[in-house]
Amino acid sequence: FKSVLNSYGQVFFSTKKTFSSLLILATFVDFYTGVFGLFAVVVTNLIAYWLGLNKYKITEGFFGFNSLLVGLGLGIYFQPGALLLLIVFLAAILTLFISVSLEGVIGKYALPYLSIPFVISLWILTLASREFMELGLNERGIYTLNDLYIIGGGSLVKLYEWWNNIPLPSSIRSYFLSLGAILFQYNLFTGVILAIGLLTY
């Protein structure tokens, strides 16, 4: 469980449980994106344990945070389903292998691999996904109000509109949106959660 929490925190170079918990909450603003991100982290950490990799690095989240970003990226871009679940599973393993490989190559120079495994894995999976005709693109962000109405009715739609119409300077609004985009969540609410987490961190 600690390895999962730290995998989230490592995105911001943190191992604080409270901050990591806020990050998990933030990823679930888009529920399916959060599910696929969490699934990728769990798969990566389990495979890493099974392969006998360094337990300290697994527990600290060094192998999991890149897989988290890959899972979030795939979860936000594609429609949820069994095929996407399989792709995220394979992507998590691929990201782990790339992380271990880069650690061996550039680690001897005392250089961190940071989010390079995430970038490589997401590029590979995005290019490969063109061949999967059954893998539909995510349409959740297009019909946001319709989705909110299905989930919580008119009251949730009004709450969403009130939240988005809060008078904020464009610079602050851009700041919150940019923070949310780090976790592939393109909304103010996620950005506010992350801002609170960063202030407490």
Whole-number Å distance between alpha carbons of 26 and 20: 10
Residue 8: give its domain's CATH number: 1.10.3430.10
Residue 14 falls within a domain, yes or no? yes
Q: What are phi and psi of 78, to 5 degrees?
A: -120, 155
Whole-number Å distance between alpha carbons of 67 and 148: 29
Counted domains in the chain? 1
Residue 195 falls within a domain, yes or no? no
Residue 151 falls within a domain, yes or no? no
Most confident of 107-111, 132-136, 153-157, 184-188: 184-188
When pLDDT is averaged across residues 73-92 and rounded to a whole number, the result is: 92
The CA distances from residue 52 to 8, 57, 65, 142, 171, in Å, are 22, 11, 18, 43, 47
186: left (phi over 0), alpha (psi -120 to 50) or beta: beta
- Which stretch of 35-44, 131-140, 192-201 has the lowest confidence by average pLDDT? 131-140
pLDDT confidence tier of residue 111, bands split at 50, 70 and 90: confident
Position 143 scores a pLDDT of: 63
Report the SS3 class of residue 115: coil
Residue 189 CA to its chain's centroid (Å): 16
Across the chain, mean pLDDT equals: 88
CB 60 within 8 A of CB 110: no
Domain extent for 10 = 2-141
Whole-number Å distance between alpha carbons of 145 and 147: 5
Residue with the larger pLDDT of the pair 126 and 71: 71
Residue 85 falls within a domain, yes or no? yes
Residue 23 pLDDT > 90: yes
pTM confidence score: 0.89
Residue 117 falls within a domain, yes or no? yes
Residue 183 falls within a domain, yes or no? no
pLDDT digits (tens, 9 = 90+) for 48-73: 999 999 999 999 999 999 999 999 99
Q: What are phi and psi of 137, to 5 degrees?
A: -75, 150
Q: Which two tokens stand for residue 69?
A: 């970003």
Residue 114 CA to its chain's centroid (Å): 15
Q: How many CB atoms lie within 10 A of CB 22?
A: 21
